Structure 1
């Protein structure tokens, strides 16, 4: 996961470990189902109860519907990258 350079795999592994450690079977089910439905990553945040799901835009609506059907609220956000951030990152490549 993180040691292999995959931030999203690390997020899923850590988030699902938190769900398993706290006995939150419903969160574990939601995370696994989200990944099966197209999420890049899904996991419990911190010590819960929030679940973060990262996906491509084309999967956002269907994943949001799935989460709502599971009885949870959806708060949507998007990644952005400014030109300045791109230039800063490219200096380190």
Structure 2
């Protein structure tokens, strides 16, 4: 993660009251962390090949989006291109591109 964290005042200005869930980032992230630990070994394809997975979770206001990718060709860890996740996250913001 890059950039500086917002102060509470900056956050309140950036996210309208109707867009706040009342949950902290830690409360939203806790079940996600548990799921990552539970699934840390990924899965194995029918032929016995390991299938690497990558997940990215983005929260914008009350919306939590999950992006994922899998490499079904070989055991190389796949990537989620930054431009794709940034463009999708922009759509989640009020007035974002549709």
Fold shared by both chains (TM-score > 0.5): no
Tell me which protein shows more helix as a share of its residues. Answer: 1
Larger radius of gyration: 2
- For normalisation by structure 1, the TM-score amounts to 0.26
Tell me which protein shows more strand as a share of its residues. Answer: 2
- For normalisation by structure 2, the TM-score amounts to 0.25
